[in-house]
Structure 1
C-alpha cells in the first residue's frame, strides 16, 4: 500500500471552518468560494492539468458513445467499448440532465467547439420538448428509450410491465441541468426556460406529512395495478395523481436536490428543509440504527430540529443514509453548500471526505478510497459506502463481502459488530472525483493510482468500479462498463475544480441564491473534530 502521508494536513479544525478566508476573484454573488478555500490555497500543476484533461477527454468519449445520434438522449450505460458501444436501450431524466451539464463542461474545457455544444444541447432539449410527459406538472417519466424518446412501459430489465413513474429526484437533476444550461449556454436559454418554467415541484410537497411538510418520492399519472397509492394533488388544482407513499425524511441524501430546486423556483416552502432528520432521535425507540447519535436541539422557522451527529475516528458529522459520497456531495456539484451554509455543510463536507480517505487507507487498509453506489464488479449494481457514517441498518458496505458495521445503541442495545474486519474493497472512481473540491491533491493521487496500479481504466475513462484485494494485494475484479450518471458526476466535478466552478456558478445565479441561501445558511450542525 502506498500511504498518502499528506492527507491529514487538509483536515485541521481551522481548515474545516476557514470559510471566510477567501480567494480573490472566485465568488458567488460576491461570496468567496469554499472549493478553493478548503484546498488551503492548492493550485494544480501543469502535470495535474494534463492528467485531468486526459481523464476529461476520455470520459467525454464514453458519454458521446452512450448518446443516440438522432435523439440526443444518452443511454443509461454501455459496456467497455466506446468504439462499438452496446447501449442499454433506456435512459432517465437524471441521465439526460447529466449529458447536458457534461456538454457544458466539454465546451468550457475545449474538448468540443461552441458550435458542437450548441448543436448537442439544442438537439436534446428539442427531443425533451416533444417527448410524452406529465403535462400538468411539466415533469418527465422515469424511463425512456434513448433511441426513440418513447416512454417505457416495461422495466429496464425487460422483465415486467411498469406504470410510468414521475420521480421527484430525477426531475430535480434534470431541472438542475436546465438551470446550468440557461446560464452557461445563453443561445439555448429559450429552450431550457421553456422546459424549466413548466416544472412545478409543488406537486411533490406534502404539507400534511409532518408539520412543515416533506417531499414525496414521486407519483404515477395513472393508478398502478401492483401498488397502493395516495390519490390526490398537492397543488390544489388540476387532475389527481397517484402518489407513492414514500417521503424523503432525512436531510443528507441526494434527494435534497428536489427541495433545493423547489426553493429556487419559489414552489416549496423553507420549512421543508428543517423537517427532515439530521439523524434519527437519540431515544431507545430508534435503537435499530447502528449508532446512537449525539447532539442538541435548535429551533429554525419555529420547528424543533435535533442536530444529531455520528462519531467516526475523532470526527462528529451528520451521516448520510448509506455513508456514500454520492448522497453527501452530488448536490454540492450545483449548490455551493459550503459557502452558503458555512456552519453546516461547510464543515460536514470536508469531514465526509476525510472519513472516506481514512476508511480506505487506515481502517480497512485497501490502499485506495472513494465509495458510492455503482456497478458491482461481480455483476449488476450495488451500493457502497463507509457504513459507520451511514444510518441504514442494512448497511452500504465498502467491500465485496458486504461486511456489516454495528456499534450498537448506547444504553439500549449492544453492538453486533463494532470492530469489523474488511475483505476486498470496492472503490468507485466517481466518488473520488466528487471529493476533489475538498481534497484535490488526495483525490488526484488516488485516481492516478487507480488507473496505474489497478488498471481500472479504458477508452472511456475510469471503469465504474474496481475490487481491491485485501491487504493491498492489488486489483481484483473490475466492473468494465460506463454509467451515464457516474460519468456525468466525473465531468461535473472536473468542471468545478478545473473550470473555475463552472457548474456551481452556472447554477447559482441570483434568483437561485435568493431562494436557497437564506434557508440553508441559518443552520449550525454539531459537526466537527472531537
Structure 2
C-alpha cells in the first residue's frame, strides 16, 4: 500500500481528534472540538462571551439552504445583505470551526454547516482554468452577480487575488479540522491556482501578484491583457500589483509559494517602504530609513518609518488588519523573530499610542469598517501608511502631513484630530501582543461607548460623538472569531492551517527576512 505523506498524517490526526473531542498535541496546540467529548477547556469568560455573541451574528447571516454568509447584517440581526464574497464565505467556515472548538455549537451542527457550505462551493460558477471564485455571489441562490442588488448597477465579474486567498485559507482549516470533510475541502483547494495572479516579470523578475482579473474587458477600466496561467483564453488583469509587504494580500503569496505555483522570490519582491531615491518617492508619507539586503538574489530595501520613537515597516494605509490578519493563520512572529516578531508588536503599540496619547480618543484599534455616519471607510493610523493620504482615524478625515525631508514641506505636521472612529475587530487582532490592553480597551468600547448588541461588538463607533455603526460585517466578525479562537485554544487556527509542506516552503523565507524595525 502507498504510504500517506507526513503532512497528511498530521492533518488526519488533528481532524480525527477534533471530531472525537480528544485533547492532543501535534505538535503545538491540542485539537479539541466541543460536542462529541468533554467540556472545552476553561478559558477567559470575557472572551468566551464575546465569541458566543459574535457567532450569533455569523449564524444570522448564513443562509440555511446554501450555507453562504451575507456580507453584513443590521444591528438587530434581521436583514442580511443580498451579496457575499469569497472572503466572507471563508470567514464563515473558519468561524464555524472556532465555534465548535469553543463549545458554542456541537460537532453535529458544525459538520452540517461546513458540509452545506462546501456543497454550495462545489456548484458555484468559477473561472475554470484557474479554479478561482468570482468576487460577488448571491448568498441565497449562489448565482454569480452581474447586477448589484437594489440599484441594478452593472457588476463586471472580477476574480480577486486576496479574496480567493482567504477562501483558500479557510479550506485548509476545514480539511484539517474535520476528517469527514477533508477530501471535499482539499478538492476545492487543489483546483485553485494562484499562479494565474502572478506576474513573473514584475520587479525585475522576482514577481508580484496582480490585484486580480476580469474574464471580459470591464468597460473603460484600466486593464492589462494576459494569461499567466497558460490555459484558456486571455483575461484582463488589474493595472496594479500587490506590491507592499505589510498587506493582507500576502496570504495569497504564502499559499502560492507553498503550492509551488509562485516562486519563492516573490516573498522578497514587495516594498517594505518605497525606496529612498532622491525625491522620486517623495509622495510617500515620510522619508524612510533602512538598508538594502539581498534574499535569494533579490535586492530588498528594508526601509522603516519613525513613529513615537519606534521604527516600523508601514502598511499602505496604516490599518491593523493589513498588518495582522495573515498572522491569524501563519505564525509570522514566531518564525520571523527579526521581522514580524518585531513589527507586529510595534504596530500594536503604535495604534495604542495614536488612540490614547496622540489623538486622545481614549480608545484604539483602527481598520477599514462601517462608517458610523454612513457607508464604509478605511480607517487607520495615517503615519503608519505609505500613502501620503492614507487611512485617517477620524471623521472628518484628518490628513497628517509632516513633509518629506529635502523634497516636500509639510502642510499639517501637528494636527488636531476630530471624532475618532475605533473598530473593535482591529483591537481583537492585537490579542497576541497585548492581551490585557485589548481587554481593557474592549470593556470601554462596550460599556462606556455602548457599541455592543445581540451579535457582539458593532462594527465601529465614533469616540467623541458616540455615534455607532450598528451593523455587523461578516469579514470583521470572522476576524474576531479567529482571534478569540487562537487566544483561547493555543493558536488552534494556525495549527489547522500549517502542515509540514507549508512550513517547509514558507518558514525558511520568513526566518531569513530581517526588517530594520525596532520598538
Using the size of structure 1 for normalisation, the TM-score is: 0.89
SS in 2 for 1:436: coil
> Aligned equivalents of 1:28 and 1:339: distance in 2?
17
Unaligned runs of 5+ in 1: 1-24, 32-44, 470-474
Moved more, 156-165 or 443-452: 156-165
Q: What CA deviation, in whole Å up to 9, does each residue of 1:28-87 have, x standing for no partner?
A: 8579xxxxxxxxxxxxx98x71111111000000001101111000000011112xx211
> Aligned equivalents of 2:318 and 2:25: distance in 1?
30
Alignment of 1:33-432 (within 5 A): 49-82=44-77, 85-155=78-148, 158-211=151-204, 212-283=206-277, 284-432=279-427
Counterpart check, 1:477 vs 2:467 = yes
2:8 paired residue number = none
2:32 paired residue number = none
> Aligned equivalents of 2:307 and 2:72: distance in 1?
35
CA contact (8 A) 2:129 2:231 kept: no
Counterpart check, 1:492 vs 2:482 = yes
Q: CA RMSD in A?
A: 1.7
CA contact (8 A) 1:326 1:434 kept: yes
> Aligned equivalents of 1:239 and 1:514: distance in 2?
34
Moved more, 158-167 or 382-391: 158-167
2:431 paired residue number = 436
Q: What CA deviation, in whole Å up to 9, does each residue of 1:320-347 have, x standing for no partner?
A: 0111101000010111100111110010
Aligned length: 484
Deviation at 1:185, TM superposition (A): 1.6
SS in 1 for 2:472: strand
CA contact (8 A) 1:122 1:188 kept: yes
CA contact (8 A) 1:430 1:486 kept: yes
Unaligned runs of 5+ in 2: 1-22, 30-40
Moved more, 343-352 or 257-266: 257-266
CA contact (8 A) 2:130 2:229 kept: no
The verdict on how the C-alpha distance between 1:113 and 1:311 changes in structure 2, with shifts beyond 3 A counting, is same
> Aligned equivalents of 1:432 and 1:194: distance in 2?
35
SS in 2 for 1:288: coil
> Aligned equivalents of 2:308 and 2:473: distance in 1?
32
> Aligned equivalents of 1:484 and 1:30: distance in 2?
29
The verdict on how the C-alpha distance between 1:120 and 1:479 changes in structure 2, with shifts beyond 3 A counting, is same
CA contact (8 A) 2:28 2:495 kept: no
> Aligned equivalents of 1:339 and 1:379: distance in 2?
39
Using the size of structure 2 for normalisation, the TM-score is: 0.91
The verdict on how the C-alpha distance between 1:281 and 1:428 changes in structure 2, with shifts beyond 3 A counting, is same
> Aligned equivalents of 1:127 and 1:79: distance in 2?
25
